[in-house]
Chain A
Amino acid sequence: ETGVTQSPTHLIKTRGQQVTLRCSSQSGHNTVSWYQQALGQGPQFIFQYYREEENGRGNFPPRFSGLQFPNYSSELNVNALELDDSALYLCASSLNGLGYMNTEAFFGQGTRLTVV
């Protein structure tokens, strides 16, 4: 059973550019969530995908978008990068989305994005 893997591990982008971050979920997990963690703060929920559909979104603008593929891997896309987008982006996979609170999420190591 493989864990959650994210790529790339580190990335430097220029303000205004676009970025795509990737996440492979744990085997058998159909739910992927994305979080943004600024330095010194707790992770903030961006959105969640369950069986290829977005089924929850945090307080992030539309330039943050995502996809989930049939194999349940996922992408996070951020357009028009701003300096404040510099953060650790975390992906978490779990089994079942809506209504399943009695489950645990498995996190990847994250992608460190720096916007200059």
Chain B
Amino acid sequence: DAKTTQPNSMESNEEEPVHLPCNHSTISGTDYIHWYRQLPSQGPEYVIHGLTSNVNNRMASLAIAEDRKSSTLILHRATLRDAAVYYCIPMEYGNKLVFGAGTILRVKS
């Protein structure tokens, strides 16, 4: 399993952009990079995933470094509802999600 490094916690102000970094230097060439988040008292929720190029969806953007050893999840305007634990997960063959400790995102109003 590819190892990931994420900050333990980050803090943001409401309505401001948030950049959540993840290092995954041991990622293989075919691993997709997935991001999930887990709101308090809920199961994890899919956010976004990508392979090589940057990706956008209604929830967030994913910026992937050219060497694929790191990626950044971008929330364009943080809301209180975005307060959660964010997990960066290189997805290997077999469709198994390997969760690390993630980043606790706190959003201040």
Residues of A that sit less than 8 Å from B by CB: 4, 31, 33, 35, 41-45, 48, 55-56, 58, 90, 92, 94, 96-110
Contacts and interface: CB of A to CB of B under 8 A. Distances in A.
B95 A103 contact: yes
Contacts, number: 74
Contact of A94 (B30, B95, B98): B95
Chain A: interface secondary structure?
A: loop
Interface of B: 30-32, 34, 36, 42-46, 49, 51, 85, 87, 91-102
A103 to B, nearest CB: 7
Contacts of A56: 94-96
A90 B102 CA distance: 17
Contact of A101 (B30, B42, B99): B30
Chain B: interface secondary structure?
A: loop
A98 B94 contact: yes
A41 B85 CA distance: 10
A90 B44 contact: yes
Given A42-B102, A44-B99, A97-B95, A102 B44 contact: no
Contact of A43 (B30, B34, B44): B44
